[in-house]
């Protein structure tokens, strides 16, 4: 998505210049603001949801499916959640359930998918994959060795990379996955995944004026440079800055310290909805925003604006 021309239409955008149909709902990030609801699903009883969960897991295991979070290339994809009445808008995010030897994925709003994917279990979390630039390249390599996959990946928009996430969304999703895996392991009494401490510091402290990074063994210089600069989660005004902007503090809705956080069914979608809204507020010109949108944009601040522009300028 070009930084100067986002394909988005949130509530705070001036409807006289661009139409939009998303209602706003409250959430509780560090900075108080409103976010949009992606789906318009009707209430489903628990038995129906459990049935959908069972089918999803059965089909996923049988067909070695993955759950890709991606940016829709258009607003034409229909959400497959029973009772959802709306298409998936291109300005948001969607989950693509991709099965082996399947020509077309199954698409869901992120919040609809959270209702049927029990992310308190590793068999669901481990199938979740952000569609970042690295994943896109690996898909293209597979396609080159297996021409039979060209139709399937072409239908997903993988031929031209239109479904790749911006780096900010990818960073947030990877953090969410790591946090959920760690919390599940602690709950189950299993050993937690080991990650190089130097890499962890880079992933969570880069951009801070007080951080002095150490390059992990085996990391190439190009990736190291991108992580500590382009993809840094912190934006700072320098050594005297006492209130540095932090991506995770701004958008992650829970701390993943309590096992109850595993049962929250909106932590992923609310995080991405907040990020999606702020991208639009920052990337649109002020004359395309409503008065409410202008107030929300002002609340983001100059530091946050710089950070969001940087983290939406390319894919991870």
- Among 65-69, 224-228, 295-299, the range scoring the smallest mean pLDDT is 65-69
Residue 98 clears pLDDT 60, i.e. is over it: yes
Q: Which two tokens stand for residue 287?
A: 């004359």
Q: In this structure, what DSSP letter does residue 3 have?
A: T
Q: So what's the pLDDT on residue 16?
A: 33
Q: So what's the pLDDT on residue 49?
A: 84
Local structure of 288: helix, strand or coil: helix
Query: pTM for the whole thing?
Result: 0.82
- Among 54-68, 136-150, 199-213, 236-250, the range scoring the smallest mean pLDDT is 136-150
CB neighbours (10 Å) of residue 241? Answer: 15
**Mean pLDDT value across residues 31-45:** 51
Checking phi first, is residue 176 left (phi over 0); if not, alpha (psi -120 to 50) or beta?
alpha
CA–CA dist 307, 35 (Å, integer)? 19
Beta bridge partners of 304: none
Q: Which two tokens stand for residue 158?
A: 């993988």
Specify the residue for token string 């979740």. Answer: 128
Q: So what's the pLDDT on residue 167?
A: 94
Residue 8 clears pLDDT 60, i.e. is over it: no
DSSP string over 269-281: HHHHHHHHHHHHH
Distance of CA 133 to the CA centre of its chain: 14
**What is the per-residue pLDDT across 121-173, written as a single tens digit (0 to 9) for each?**
998 999 999 998 766 555 545 544 555 555 455 545 544 557 889 999 999 99
Percent of the chain with pLDDT over 70: 76
């Amino acid at each position: 998505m070009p930084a100067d021309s986002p394909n988005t239409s949130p509530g705070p955008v001036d409807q006289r210049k661009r139409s939009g149909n998303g209602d706003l709902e409250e959430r509780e990030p560090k900075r108080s603001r409103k976010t949009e609801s992606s789906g318009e699903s009707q209430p489903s009883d628990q038995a129906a949801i459990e049935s959908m969960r069972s089918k999803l897991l059965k089909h996923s295991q049988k067909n070695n499916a993955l759950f890709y979070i991606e940016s829709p290339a258009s607003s034409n994809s229909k959400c497959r959640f029973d009772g959802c009445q709306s298409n998936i808008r291109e300005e948001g995010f969607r989950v693509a359930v991709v099965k082996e030897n399947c020509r077309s994925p199954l698409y869901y709003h992120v919040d609809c998918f959270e209702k049927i994917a029990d992310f308190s279990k590793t068999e669901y979390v481990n199938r979740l994959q952000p569609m970042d630039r690295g994943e896109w390249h690996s898909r293209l390599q597979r396609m080159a060795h297996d021409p039979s996959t060209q139709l399937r990946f072409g239908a997903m928009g993988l031929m031209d990379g239109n479904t790749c996430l911006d780096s900010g969304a990818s960073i947030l999703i990877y953090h969410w996955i790591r946090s959920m895996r760690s919390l599940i392991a602690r709950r189950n009494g299993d050993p937690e995944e080991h990650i190089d401490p130097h890499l962890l510091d880079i992933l969570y402290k880069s951009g801070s004026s007080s951080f002095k990074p150490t390059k992990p063994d085996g990391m190439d210089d190009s990736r190291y440079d991108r992580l500590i600069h382009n993809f840094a989660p912190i934006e700072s005004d320098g050594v005297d800055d006492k209130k540095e902007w932090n991506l995770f503090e701004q958008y992650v809705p829970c701390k993943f310290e309590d096992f109850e956080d595993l049962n929250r069914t909106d932590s992923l979608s609310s995080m991405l909805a907040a990020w999606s809204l702020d991208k639009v507020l920052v990337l649109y010109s002020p004359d395309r925003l409503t008065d409410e949108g202008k107030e929300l944009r002002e609340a983001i601040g100059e530091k946050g604006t710089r950070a969001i522009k940087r983290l939406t300028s390319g894919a991870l």
